[in-house]
Amino acid sequence: MPSPTVYDVAEKAGVSIATVSRVLNTPERVSEGTRARVLEAVDALRFVPRAEATARARRGSGRIGVLAPFFTFPSFVERLAGVAGALANRPYELAIYNVDSSSRRDSYLASLAVMRSVDGLIVMALPFGQAASDRLVAHGLDAVAIEFSQEPFSSIRIDDRAGGRMAAEYLLERGHRRVGFVGDAELPDYAIHTSDWRLEGYRLALADAGVPIAESHVAVAPHGLENARSCAHTLLALQEPPTAIFAASDYQALGVLKAARERGLSVPGDLAVIGFDDLEMAGYLGLTTIRQPLAESGRVAVDLMLARLADPTRPAQRIRLPVTLIPRETA
């Protein structure tokens, strides 16, 4: 049987060949429904592009792709720096794909798999389904997942709940009994809810110690410095305000610190503050925090990817990186 052509895909999907080309090359320019029809046709026909795309796939594109949401967030910047540093002396360039919706995530996963415009894909904090996984496998595009697991690919995770528990235990050891939390709300459907997991670990440790956190001491809002500051003001204005606040990220901890300063509170005398991530700025601010190895996770992802490119029979690996409490001046 002759190999299916772009004309066959267009006929099966009921679209023009120009639309098929846009789905494969610039998927964000095509409606979700049309993309789905074209990709169903691609899968059903086992279509593989010819000419330049196929030739490039055969000899290797010399590119490693990174799919990332919120790529301007400090934690993602540090993780991307780890990826870039690991590729600095390797014969690969870095291609970053910013994801701001579930449809864009799915479009990139599909088009990159079919076009093979990258040799491997690192997916940061963007869980995807079995259909996308099957398509990547069918087209021979390997992936490494960071902050989630997806068969049959290698993955790198941290224990967010353990980090929340560490924060609670640290505050309890220092005599705090009225504690608060500032975290994320209204996260998009394509995002991983790490703030919720950190709060869960925090709650469990406090409950185990017999001092459960009051619901009035939990404040959440869309991620951002100003929103974290506003949440902290809400908590600190209570009749019995918390004596310590755990923020779901170092960036949000900055908002908490600003609110404390605006209210004339001393840190840690009147209010202890703990963050999460251990961004570079945390050390300069003296911020007590839960360190997750952001740059290391990016470096390890590259190592896993290049090992699989060198030997596709190498088994997928599941790696869990440790979190560590870093005590400094704020708590």
pLDDT in tens, 159-200: 999 999 999 999 999 999 999 999 999 888 888 899 999 999
| pLDDT reported for residue 70 | 76
Q: Which two tokens stand for residue 67?
A: 């799919």
Q: Which amino acid is at 166?
A: M
| pLDDT reported for residue 225 | 94
| pLDDT reported for residue 188 | 83
CA angle 112, 299, 64 (to 5 degrees): 20
| pLDDT reported for residue 101 | 84
Question: What does the domain layout of the chain look like in residue ranges?
Answer: 1-50, 160-293
| pLDDT reported for residue 204 | 98
Per CATH, the number for 1-50 is: 1.10.260.40
| pLDDT reported for residue 10 | 86
| Selected residue with higher pLDDT from 238 and 190 | 238
Mean predicted confidence (pLDDT) in 256-281: 97
- Local confidence band at 205 (pLDDT 50, 70, 90 cut-offs): very high
Q: Which amino acid is at 308?
A: R
SS3 (DSSP) at 121 = strand
Mean predicted confidence (pLDDT) in 135-145: 91
CATH 3.40.50.2300 given to domain 160-293: yes
- Local confidence band at 56 (pLDDT 50, 70, 90 cut-offs): very low
| pLDDT reported for residue 60 | 61
Q: Among residues of the chain, what percentage have pLDDT more than 90?
A: 65
Mean predicted confidence (pLDDT) in 18-39: 84
How far apart CA 329 and CA 283 sit, in angstroms, is 10
Handedness of CA 99, 103, 109, 111 (dihedral sign): negative
| pLDDT reported for residue 59 | 52
Q: Could you tell me how far CA 182 lies from the centroid of its own chain?
A: 19
Mean predicted confidence (pLDDT) in 151-157: 95
Residue with tokens 């087209």: 139
**1-50 and 160-293: identical CATH topology:** no
Task: Please give the DSSP secondary-structure letter assigned to residue 323.
Answer: -
Query: Rounded mean pLDDT of the chain?
Result: 90
